[in-house]
C-alpha cells in the first residue's frame, strides 16, 4: 500500500564545497577545506574541491535538470566564506549573487530550496582564531545566519542550521581526519560541542527574527542507530533504544546520538555520557541549555546504515555480527533498508517532531557505458528497498514530510575525493558533462507517482 501523503516533498541534496568549485571566484574567502585539502596525504590521490562538478558555473543548467527530473525540493548548503569572506562583517555582494540567481531560478522552476547554513566548510579566517572552539563562535554563526535569512528569507522557507555536527566535531576536532585536522582532548571536544549547540540555538532565533515571512528551521544530525535483531522481541526493541540513546560509551564512545540531539531538542546536557567518556563534566548552565534549544519545526535525519543488536540476559544491547557475504556499499556500509524505518521510529518516539529525511543514498561504482548512458541498477534496487521502508514508517503513523536523496550529482566526498559516486547525475570531472543516470529517470517516475511506482 502506498502511504506517501499528498504534498510529500521529494527532492535531492548537495553541499557547497562538494559541488560548487569556484573556490576563489567573486572575492570568496578561503574555507578550512580549501586549506585542509592542500595538505599532503589528507585526501585520496590529492583531490580537492577547487573545481569538482563546477556548479558555480553550471548552476542554471543543473536547475533545468532538477526540473526535468520532477524534483519538488533541493537541499543545498551555502558557502559561508563565499557569502561572508572573513566569516564576519560585510556580506560579499559578488559572492551573494550566486545564491540570488540560484534561489530565483529554483523559485521560477517550482522547486523549493532547503538551505543548510553550515555543511562543514568553515571560513579560514575564523578557523585561525579557534573555529568552533572559540567562545565567540556561536555569535559568529548567528550573525551569518541572520544575514542569510535577511537576504533570502523571502525565497527560502526551510532552513537547516548544521549538517551532522557529530561528524564534523569528531572527525574534524577530535580525530583530525577532516578539516581542520585538529586532535583536541576529550574535554575540548565537549567544549566544541557546547559552542556548536549554542550556535545552533542562536542561529534558529536569528533566522526567525531576520526572515521577512514565517519559516521552518531545524538541523540535520547523522543517525548512528541500532535496530533490533527481532522486531517481535520487546527486549531487543528496548536494547535498540538503549544502544541508540543510552549512555553506553563503551559501545559508541563519542558517537552517542544523545550528545548531538538532546541538548538542542530537549534542552538536556548528557552529563552521564560525558562523564563516562571524558571523566569530567564541563560547565553548562540552565540559561545556556535554554539558548541551545529553541523549538524547531521539524527534524532532519541523515541515514545510511545501522548495526543490529540483541538483548543479553541482563537486557543490555549486544551487537550482532553481520552475515557472511552481506551486501555492502562501496563505502563498506552494510545495506539495511529496515534501518530507515527504525531511524524514523526511534527519533520520532524520542523527540516527537515531524521528520524530513535530509540524506540517504548509495555509494556505488558508476561509469558511462559504451551506449553513452550510465546504468546503475544497484542504486535503483537500494532506493526501492529503503523507500519501501520509509513508506512503512509513514503507514505506522510516523509523520515524514519529505525525502532528499543524497546526492543530486556525483561530487567531492571529503577525504575520499572523487572515488565514490552517490549521484543521480554522473559527472565527468574533466569536461563537467552531466549525464542523468538510470536511477535519475527512475526517481523521476517515483516522484511523478508520489511513490506509487515503488509498488507497481
Which is nearest to 426 in space by CA: 441, 412, 411, 414?
Answer: 411
Residue 171 CB coordination number (10 Å): 18
Of the candidates 20, 164, 288, 307, the residue annotated as catalytic is: 164
**Cα–Cα distance list, 263 to 82, 190, 258 (Å):** 30, 12, 8
Phi, psi of 117 (to 5 degrees): -80, -35
**Cα–Cα distance list, 76 to 21, 293, 314, 382 (Å):** 14, 24, 45, 23
Length of the chain equals 456
Of the candidates 20, 307, 359, 413, the residue annotated as catalytic is: 359
Which is nearest to 427 in space by CA: 380, 382, 374?
Answer: 374
At 128, list the grid cell. Answer: 585561525
Say how far apart CA 241 and CA 294 lie, in whole Å: 25
Concerning whether 359 is annotated as a catalytic residue, the answer is yes
Positive/negative CA dihedral, 75, 80, 84, 87? positive
Say how far apart CA 11 and CA 72 lie, in whole Å: 6
Residue with cell 567544549: 191
List active site positions: 164, 359
Amino acid at each position: 500500500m502506498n502511504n506517501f501523503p499528498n504534498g510529500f516533498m521529494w527532492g535531492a541534496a548537495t553541499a557547497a564545497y562538494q559541488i560548487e568549485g569556484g573556490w576563489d571566484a567573486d572575492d570568496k574567502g578561503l574555507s578550512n577545506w580549501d586549506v585542509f585539502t592542500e595538505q599532503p596525504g589528507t585526501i585520496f590521490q590529492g583531490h580537492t574541491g577547487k573545481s569538482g562538478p563546477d556548479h558555480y558555473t553550471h548552476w542554471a543548467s543543473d536547475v533545468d535538470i532538477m526540473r526535468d527530473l520532477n524534483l519538488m525540493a533541493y537541499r543545498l548548503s551555502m558557502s559561508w566564506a563565499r557569502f561572508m569572506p572573513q566569516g564576519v562583517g560585510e556580506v560579499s555582494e559578488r559572492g551573494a549573487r550566486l545564491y540570488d540567481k540560484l534561489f530565483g531560478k529554483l523559485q521560477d522552476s517550482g522547486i523549493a530550496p532547503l538551505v543548510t547554513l553550515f555543511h562543514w566548510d568553515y571560513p579560514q579566517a575564523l578557523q585561525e582564531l579557534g573555529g568552533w572552539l572559540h567562545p565567540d563562535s556561536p555569535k559568529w554563526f548567528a550573525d551569518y545566519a541572520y544575514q542569510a535569512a535577511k537576504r533570502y528569507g523571502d525565497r527560502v522557507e526551510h532552513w537547516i542550521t548544521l549538517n551532522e555536527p557529530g561528524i564534523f566535531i569528531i572527525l574534524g576536532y577530535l580525530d583530525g581526519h577532516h578539516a581542520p585536522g585538529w586532535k583536541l582532548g576529550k574535554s575540548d571536544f565537549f567544549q566544541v560541542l557546547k559552542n556548536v549547540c549554542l550556535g545552533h540555538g542562536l542561529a534558529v532565533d536569528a533566522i526567525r527574527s531576520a526572515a521577512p515571512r514565517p519559516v521552518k528551521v531545524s538541523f540535520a544530525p547523522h543517525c548512528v542507530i541500532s535496530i533490533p535483531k527481532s522486531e517481535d522481541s520487546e527486549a531487543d526493541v528496548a536494547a535498540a533504544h538503549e544502544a541508540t540513546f543510552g549512555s553506553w560509551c563503551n559501545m559508541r564512545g563519542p558517537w552517542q546520538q544523545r550528545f548531538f540531539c538532546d541538548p538542542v531538542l530537549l534542552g538536556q546536557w548528557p552529563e552521564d555520557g560525558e562523564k563516562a567518556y571524558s571523566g569530567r563534566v564541563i560547565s553548562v548552565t540552565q540559561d545556556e541549555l535554554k539558548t541551545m534549544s529553541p523549538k524547531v519545526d521539524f527534524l532532519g535525519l541523515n541515514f545510511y546504515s545501522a548495526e543490529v543488536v540483541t538483548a543479553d540476559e541482563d537486557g543490555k544491547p549486544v551487537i550482532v555480527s553481520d552475515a557472511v557475504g552481506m551486501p555492502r556499499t562501496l563505502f563498506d556500509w552494510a545495506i539495511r533498508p529496515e534501518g530507515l524505518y527504525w531511524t524514523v521510529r526511534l527519533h520520532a518516539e524520542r523527540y516527537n517532531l515531524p521528520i524530513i529525511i535530509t540524506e540517504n543514498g548509495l555509494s556505488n561504482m558508476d561509469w558511462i557505458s559504451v551506449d553513452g548512458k550510465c546504468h546503475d541498477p544497484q542504486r535503483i534496487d537500494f532506493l526501492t528497498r529503503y523507500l519501501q521502508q520509509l513508506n512503512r514508517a509513514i503507514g505506522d503513523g510516523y509523520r515524514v514530510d519529505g525525502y532528499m536523496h543524497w546526492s543530486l550529482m556525483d561530487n567531492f566526498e571529503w577525504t575520499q575525493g572523487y572515488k565514490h559516486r552517490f549521484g543521480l547525475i554522473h559527472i565527468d570531472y574533466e569536461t563537467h558533462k552531466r549525464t542523468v543516470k538510470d536511477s535519475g529517470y527512475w526517481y523521476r517516475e517515483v516522484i511523478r507517482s508520489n511513490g506509487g511506482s515503488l509498488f507497481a
